[in-house]
Amino acid sequence: MIQQIYPSTQHAFQYELNKDMHFAAAHYVPSESAGECSKMHGHTYFANVTIAGNKLDESGFLANFSQIKQLIHTRFDHSVLNEHSELFNDQDPNRFPTTENVARVLFEIIQEYLDGTANKPRCVQIFLRETPTSYVVFRPGAGGMPDA
């Protein structure tokens, strides 16, 4: 839902920007245990990308809002997620196009782009809504807890 309030993440950077975007895509979850989701179906995904840093670029931007949108929208809008074989894989649950894995992949694409910029800000959160009632938050710095 664009213009909603998103969960916030703690960081010590001076600047934080947020970019909302959406893209329409089809997918299936290639597992019998996914039930109805194992059949091809589509969503309008809503993503909120949070980027933080201390340095601005030559335009006075932390990152260019429109560039961040283009990285995701151009690649995924009106596509079948399972067909992005460089990103998703029907044999590996960590590469199925679930909301969790799509959120992480969005992070990976955006952080790779940011690593190539002069001021090198950090993507600190991806909020990804798949349906009106279902969303995932991915935070790259939150991997420190051991498995229960």
State the number of CA atoms in the 13 A half-sphere of 36 facing the CB: 2
Each residue 70-109 as x (binds ligand LPXRUNBV by CB under 6 A) or -, in order, gives ----------------------------xxx---------
Q: By CB under 6 A, is residue 131 in contact with ligand LPXRUNBV?
A: yes
Query: What is the distance between the alpha carbons of residues 90 and 85, in angstroms, rounded to a whole number?
Result: 9
Count of residues engaged in binding ligand LPXRUNBV, rule: CB under 6 A: 9
Nearest to 92 by CA among 79, 82, 106: 82
Q: By CB under 6 A, is residue 114 in contact with ligand LPXRUNBV?
A: no
Q: How far is the CB of 88 from ligand LPXRUNBV (least distance, A)?
A: 12
Instruction: Compare residues 4 and 131 and give the one whose CB is closer to ligand LPXRUNBV.
Output: 131
Angle value at C-alpha 97, between 10 and 76, nearest 5 degrees: 85
Instruction: Compare residues 46 and 52 and give the one whose CB is closer to ligand LPXRUNBV.
Output: 46
Nearest to 25 by CA among 107, 133, 128: 128
**Amino acid making up residue 9:** T
CB-CB neighbours of 82 under 10 Å: 20
23 bridge partner residues: 45
Q: How far is the CB of 96 from ligand LPXRUNBV (least distance, A)?
A: 8
Q: Which residues make up the interface to ligand LPXRUNBV (CB under 6 A)?
A: 29, 37, 98-100, 130-131, 133-134
